[in-house]
Structure formats: structure tokens, C-alpha cells
Amino acid sequence: MTAISAAAPGLTGRPWIQQDWRDVVFVHWRVDVSAVAPHLPRGTRPDTLGADGVDDGATTWVGLIAFRFTDTAFPPVRVGRVGDFVEVNIRVYTVDDQGRHGVVFLSLDAGKLLPTIGARVATALPYWWAHAEFRRPEPDRAAYAMRRHGTHTRSMVDVRIGSPIAEPTALETFLTARWGMHVRRAGRTRFWPNEHEPWPLHRATIVHLRDDLAGAAGLPFGLTELEPDSVLYAPKVTTRFGLGR
């Protein structure tokens, strides 16, 4: 199994899509592997790490991630403002039989209809169309609110941004340095690699949190009502994705 590095291994071949991810909020809860395993595609298993940075084989993580997409391009073609929107997703952590560490998205809620449809068709990811917005109530805060269209499913997260992290812990690297996603499509599990510069992470604290997305995705009832085990923030990275394989 390959080790997790804060630096991306790099893509082979030309990226098919490039995006800036801005004002990224990472909120995480630790759970037993049994809560996550039923949701994973064939050929993957829960990636595990304890809160102390030591792998106990039984602890994995659920992430609520909110951020802004900007400057989307299918190199060399840029798509303009149609590619600028807010996304809020629920993700869990995986490793496959080749030792590749990645994520599985249980849901992704996007604030524009065309990117939602396009991403569902192109990648088979479980995208939903939502009303989603970003606010900065104070200079040191980042706040997201979304409601999935046609439902009462909502998520709101507001964090206060702390000081930069000079040396991320093993857990902070594990939760953020994920260089691909595992996606089930047409009976096969594909790994879509990505790359970007190391995360410019800050520690953060919760001002307000309310979330229905984790429960709607089938995760343990009341999980996101618990105090998070990790809250982080990053101002921006430029991300490139390679083709699934």
C-alpha cells in the first residue's frame, strides 16, 4: 500500500478538467469502519487512521466539505462563469487493491444546474442540484448554506478561520491529501486521479453547523449533530483531474 503524501504524485497525460477550489471548509467526524463499508464500490475498503495519527484498523472518517468552484476549464478551453458555483459534499475515505488512497462521494450538491447534469453524465457521481451560497460574515469567517431542490434537505456550516498550519499532522494530511476518487460506473470501479499544490491549511472552529446531508446519504443518524473531530480551512488550490481508469 502506498503512503499518503501531502504532495500530489502527478498526473500521467494531459488533464481533462482544471478548476480553482476556493474557501474550502473541511469538517470531519470519526466513525467505525462498519458505518462506511456498505457504501463503498467493489474493489475498495475503508481507509483507516485513528485520531492520534496511528492506524488502528477500525477508525475511518466522514467529511462534510464545502467550497467554491471558479475558473473551470477543459484545457485549453475555459467555460466562463457557467463553471463558477458552490458545492457541498459528503465523502468517505477509501483504499483499493492497488494501494491507491482516494475518496468516495456519497453526495455532491451543486449550485448550478448545467454543471450538475454534466458531472452526473460524465462521471456518474451522485450530483444533486441545490440552491447553494457562500458568505463571509466577518473577515475571518467562511459560511455556506444550501438546500437541495425539491426537498427539505439542507446543510449550513459557518467556521472561524484560525492561524495557518506550518506542519500538518498525519491525520490532517490523511483527511486532505486525497489524490483521486473511486467511482462505480457500469458495473466497474474507476479511479479518477487529481493533482494540486499542497493544501495551504488553517485550523478552524465551528460557529454554526446544521446538516441533513450525511443522514440522507445513509450514514448513522445524528452523526453531524455531534461535535466534529476536525475542522480545517484552505483559501485556494488549482486542481487538475486525469481520466478515470
Strand partners, 60: 31
Instruction: Say if CB 22 and CB 13 are below 8 A apart.
Output: no
DSSP 8-class letter at 39: G
Helix and strand numbers (H, E) in the chain are 4, 13
Tell me what percent of the chain is helix, strand and coil, each rounded to the nearest 5. 15, 50, 35
Dist CA 244 CA 106 (whole Å): 18
State how many domains the chain has.
Answer: 1
**Residue 10 resides in a domain:** no
**Residue 9 resides in a domain:** no
- Dihedral class, residue 205 (left if φ above 0, else alpha if ψ from -120 to 50, else beta): beta
**Residue 55 resides in a domain:** yes
Look up residue 127 and give its three cell numbers: 450530483
**Residue 215 resides in a domain:** no
Per-residue pLDDT of the chain (245 residues; tens, 9 = 90+): 567 899 999 898 889 899 999 999 999 999 999 999 999 999 999 999 999 999 999 999 999 999 999 988 888 877 767 679 999 999 999 999 999 999 999 999 999 998 899 889 888 999 999 999 999 999 999 999 999 999 999 999 999 999 999 999 999 999 999 999 999 988 899 999 999 999 999 999 999 999 999 999 999 999 999 999 999 999 999 999 998 77
Question: Residue 114 sits in a domain of what CATH number?
Answer: 2.40.400.10
**Residue 40 resides in a domain:** yes
**Residue 217 resides in a domain:** no
**Residue 25 resides in a domain:** yes
Residue 71 domain boundaries? 17-208+227-241
**Residue 136 resides in a domain:** yes
Q: How many CA atoms lie within 13 A of 240 on its CB side?
A: 16
Dist CA 99 CA 106 (whole Å): 21
Instruction: Say if CB 61 and CB 173 are below 8 A apart.
Output: no
